[in-house]
Amino acid sequence: MRKLGVLALMVMLGFCVQTFAQTPAQAPAKPKAATAPKASADAKIGTSAARAYDRALLRPALLKEKAPETFQVKFTTTRGDFVVTVNRTWAPIGADRFYNLVKHHFYDNASFFRVVPGFVVQFGLSAYPPVSAAWEKANLQDEPVIQSNKRGYLTYAKTSMPNTRSTQIFINLSDNAGHLDRQGFSPFGFVDAQGMKVVDMLYDQYGDSGGPDQDQISKLGKPYLDKGWPKLDSIKTATLVVAAPEAAKPQ
């Protein structure tokens, strides 16, 4: 009897061991997902957009490099390429500002948001709201008008108040010397005759009164323009070229 009892006990133990071996192990508990950090200012405008601009543009007071006496800037646009030749002696303050803005790619992705046939093409509001905010009060002192606002010449946009030039540029589409010169618009460079063929093709059908609001461009950037005025042409890149000798004036 004792042998039978021991044998029965061994059979029961073997069954228990086999049952335990077939029982799947319990899966370890999954760790809780980490709490997502709060969105940064850059994240709010999109990571790709935040990386698209030179962070030096957020500190205008530091961009004070003196420009060469003559230099060129190549504009690659959605309509084609043109080159601006700058002569620093015409407007040193304006030329230096333009040189620093281009060097740090301020105008890249910016739109030609105002095109008035027979008058001017206007550009110079950044595609990126943080950059626009940084330059909002970075105004320049006025300068004497040495060159006239003839067709192809570039000058800063400004208000009727003194010392309000900043980053916005006019390209004269016709001879505007009669009134812009008297109002103190001082040209600092020009687009030659070949380049003006491209400038003349920039989209101009929205009209001066039907164009975008400049405050909204500054606050919302390129997406605002792309949504409401999708046919506007824009600057892909504006880059410095090697220092250029005095070139022929526009015709």
- How does residue 157 score in pLDDT terms, banded at 50, 70 and 90? very high
Measured CA to CA, the distance from residue 9 to residue 12 in angstroms comes to: 5
More confident residue, 245 or 31: 245
Q: In what order do the strands lie in the sheet with 114-116?
A: 114-116, 120-123, 169-172, 153-156, 189-191, 80-87, 70-77, 235-241
Q: pLDDT-derived band of residue 251, with 50, 70 and 90 as boundaries?
A: low
CATH assignment of 70-241?
Answer: 2.40.100.10
Beta strand 80-87 with 169-172 is: unpaired
Per-residue pLDDT of 56-88, as tens digits, reads 999 999 999 999 999 999 999 999 999 999 999
pLDDT tens digits for range 24-37? 444 444 433 333 33
- The pTM (predicted TM-score) of the whole model is 0.79
Tell me what pLDDT residue 52 has: 83
Whether the predicted pLDDT of 43 surpasses 70: no
The residue extents of the domains of the chain are 70-241
Give residue-wise pLDDT tens across range 169-180: 999 999 999 999
How far apart are the C-alpha atoms of 57 and 124, rounded to whole Å? 13
